[in-house]
Structure formats: C-alpha cells, structure tokens
Amino acid sequence: MPRGGRDLDRARAGGAPVTAAWAIVLVVGVATVAIKASGPVLLGGRELPPRVRGALEQLAPALLAALVAVGVFASGRRLVLDARVVGLLAAVVALRLRAPTLVVVAVAAVATALVRLA
Amino acid sequence: MPHASRYRDGVTAALPLAVAVVPFGMSFGVLARSAGMGRLAPVVMSATTFAGSAQFAAASILGAGGGLAAAIVAAVLLNVRYGPIGLSVAGVLRGGPLARFVQAQLVVDESWAVANRGGRFDRRLLLGAGAVLYASWLLGTVAGVLAGDLLGDPERLGLDAAFPALFLALLVPQLRVRGDRSQGSGSGPSGGTAPAAGPVGPTAWLRSHTALVAAVLGAAIAICLVLVSPPGVPIIAASVACLVGACRPTTAAGATPTRRGQEERP
C-alpha cells in the first residue's frame, strides 16, 4: 500500500478542498495584490484606452450575473428548478425593500431551508 | 494636525460601512467553511486578497466541485476591475514604490467610493477608510470561520442559496442606470448624469444600460454552457460579455471631454 505525501495531506486535512483552498489563497492573493498595485506603482498617472476601460468596467456585472444564474439553476451539468429559486425570489423581494446585504443573504437561506423542510 | 483629522474623517466615514462589512466577512467565513476551505485558509485569503466578490466566487465554485483552475480564474477576473480603479487613484498616492504598493492594497470598492470627491480622490480619506474596512473584513472572517464550526449541514440551512443571493446583492448597485461613468465599479458617484443632448433611441438606451446588457448576456452564456461544460467554465466564459463595454457606441461627438469636464468640476 504505497502512501504518498498527497494521501497523507488529504488524510490530515480532511479532503482535497483544503489543499485546493490554499492554492486559491496563494494564486488569487498574489494576482489581486499585483492588480491593485499595478496602477499606482507602474503606470503612474497614465490612463487606459476608453474601449479597454469600458470593457473592464463590465467584467464585474457579467461575472456576478453568471454566478447568480449558475448558483440558482445549475446542479452539476443539469439545469434544475428547486428550493434555491424560492431563496432567490425572497432575495429579490428583500433587495426591493432595500434590506442590508446580510439580511438579503439570510432571507434567501431561510426561505430555501423552509422549502426543503416542507 | 489637519492631516490626522483627515485620516480620522476617513475612519468616521467608513464606520457605518464597517457595521456592514463585519457580518459580510462573517458570511464569507461561514460559506468558505461550508465549501470545505478549512479554518485558516479563508482568514489568510481575507488578509491578502481583501476583495469580497472574488473571495465568494472562489469559495462558491470550489464548493460546487468546479475545480481549482476555474475558481482561480473566475476570482482573478472579478478583481481585474481593480486595475482601472487603481489607475484612478494613482495620482494621489504618495511615497516611493513600496509605500505606494502598500497603500494600493487598501483600495477596495467602498474605500474608493468614500474617498471619491466629485471625480478627485482624497488620499487620507482613502487610507483611513481602507484601514477600517480591512480590519472589519478580517475580524468578520475570523468570527465566521469560528461560527461555521457550530453550524450543521450547509444545504439544510439553505446556505447554497445564500451564495447567489449575495452575488445578486453585489450586482444590483452596478445596474443602476447612469449616463456614463469613467472609472471602476461599485457604489461610485450615484448622480448619473443623463445625456441631455445625447441621441435618443436604441443607441442611447444601450449607452445607459451597458451593465444590464453585460449582466443578461453573462447569465445567458453561463446557463447555456452549464449543459455542455464542466462546472466553473460557464462563469469564466461569461466574462466575454464584458466586450459590450468596449463597443459602446461613441456617436455623441466629444462625449468623453464633456463627461470629464462634468466630473472634475468640484
């Protein structure tokens, strides 16, 4: 029974996600620090071309919307309608009532949990 | 003396935000634990990455079994906006490369918004607010990670629906109809200047709803790809939708100078 360091790591850490988590922490951390510093350190006062800036501005809305859609409707490689849809609708109502972010998140979780109980 | 009081103004301006950021950090701690990230990694991530949406995205994709590469790429793409945001404040940061490097890390959506004075930036407000937000985010994450130990099965608690609800809450402020904007994202100057003398019809509509078009397109791309690609890939592919920002029609002659003129007026 060969037992590599990887297996030991997994056994010690309680699963692969923890190792993956550290890789994410490292790579995303370094990339974010570099991105944040790039403007002030390297480019000084220069500006990006308007079209590039225009596209970069829309990265966040596009990705966030994709995260919402996939988070609610995807289950592996299938699209499903389940309790999460109720949670999202509850979040929409909370947002319309201008609830704080934490309340919006809590309302979605509670609504989903209640539907699962029923 | 006046310098110290300006930093203090930044701290004061950020305190109401801190009240929101601590629980927000807690929800990251809880959700990261439910995604199997362990205890220490989420805290280190908050200390180094210090960018909420990217951290949540990475945890969410990892928790959904989307794989390491997809989680990293999606998180980094979400932080690409800090490129232009960093550029917008580059002019007011002082000191040598190392000092500027450190100060730049305190720039997040909220500190950027607090320090924005009609298109110009106040360095002390920026750093004072940034320091408060950093401490709150870290504190919240630690509390959330510890609270995560007390919680049971994340699905039974509906935590899988908490992720999309959070992303929706982050998305909505960005969809606000505005005339145009020159920098970054987040809760920037809210007074969207309607292009009074601009063109009407589809062109004008697209100009003021670019973020909405990008969001709908991004969601559509992701949903279509769920059926044919491994988890995580749909999110990354959705980034293509940002190109609508590049082909924003510039029909109004001299639109850019007008906009800049408006923003730099105190």
- Mean pLDDT, consecutive 10-residue stretches, chain A (118 aa), reads 39 58 92 88 69 81 89 88 96 94 87 92
Name every chain B residue with its beta carbon within 8 A of the beta carbon of A62.
214-215, 217-218, 238-242
Quick check: ipTM above 0.85? Answer: no
Say if A101 falls within a structural domain. no
Give the containing element (helix H, strand E) for A79: strand A78-79
Tell me whether residues B93 and A77 touch, CB distance under 8 A.
no
Q: Shortest CB distance from A69 goes to which of B185, B223, B244?
A: B223
Say if A22 falls within a structural domain. yes
Say if A10 falls within a structural domain. yes
pLDDT at A26: 93
pLDDT at B264: 34
Q: Which of residues 101-160 of B touch A (CB under 8 A)?
A: 101, 103-105, 107, 155-160
User: A58 vs B77, B181, B210, B241, CA distance in Å?
Assistant: 11, 11, 8, 8
Indicate whether this model's pTM tops 0.80: no
pLDDT at B145: 92
Q: Write the pLDDT tens digit of every residue in B179-231.
A: 444 443 333 333 334 444 455 677 778 778 899 999 999 999 999 999 998 77
User: For residues A20 and B132, what is the distance between their CA atoms, to the nearest angstrom?
Assistant: 30
User: For residues B169 and A64, what is the distance between their CA atoms, to the nearest angstrom?
Assistant: 9
Q: Shortest CB distance from B53 goes to which of A46, A52, A64?
A: A64
Say if A33 falls within a structural domain. yes
pLDDT at B249: 53
User: Residue A49: exposed, middle, or buried by beta-carbon count in 10 A (0-12, 13-18, 19+)?
Assistant: exposed
pLDDT at B197: 46
Residues of chain B with pLDDT under 70: 1-3, 118-119, 151-154, 177-200, 248-266
pLDDT at B251: 41
User: How distant is the Cα of B229 from the closest Cα of chain A, in angstroms?
Assistant: 7
Say if A14 falls within a structural domain. yes
B112: Cβ contacts below 8 Å, ≥ 6 apart = B85, B88, B89, B121, B126, B184, B186, B188
Tell me whether residues B215 and A47 touch, CB distance under 8 A.
no
Tell me whether residues B86 and A40 touch, CB distance under 8 A.
yes
Token readout for B228 is 């044919």
Angle of CA points B173, B104, B111, to nearest 5° = 35
pLDDT at A17: 66
pLDDT at B178: 55
Say if A67 falls within a structural domain. no
User: For residues A107 and B161, what is the distance between their CA atoms, to the nearest angstrom?
Assistant: 10
A48: Cβ contacts below 8 Å, ≥ 6 apart = A56, B83, B84, B87
Name every chain B residue with its beta carbon within 8 A of the beta carbon of A28.
45, 49, 54-55, 58, 72, 75-76, 79
**Sheet strands (E) in chain B:** 116-117, 120-121
pLDDT at A6: 40
Strand partners, A78: A75
Residue corresponding to tokens 């029609």: B249
Give the containing element (helix H, strand E) for B29: helix B2-34
Name every chain B residue with its beta carbon within 8 A of the beta carbon of A101.
20, 24, 166, 169-170
Dihedral, CA of residue B9, residue A100, residue B42 and residue A113, to nearest 10: 170
Say if A26 falls within a structural domain. yes
What is the domain range of residue A18?
A: 1-46
Strands B120-121, B116-117: pairing is antiparallel
pLDDT at B142: 96
Give the containing element (helix H, strand E) for A78: strand A78-79
Tell me whether residues A95 and B86 touch, CB distance under 8 A.
no
Tell me whether residues B165 and A91 touch, CB distance under 8 A.
yes
Say if A118 falls within a structural domain. no
Q: Shortest CB distance from A57 goes to which of B20, B27, B185?
A: B185
Q: How many domains does chain A divide into?
A: 1
pLDDT at A47: 66
Tell me whether residues A39 and B90 touch, CB distance under 8 A.
yes
Q: Shortest CB distance from B235 goes to which of A32, A40, A67?
A: A67
pLDDT at B137: 94
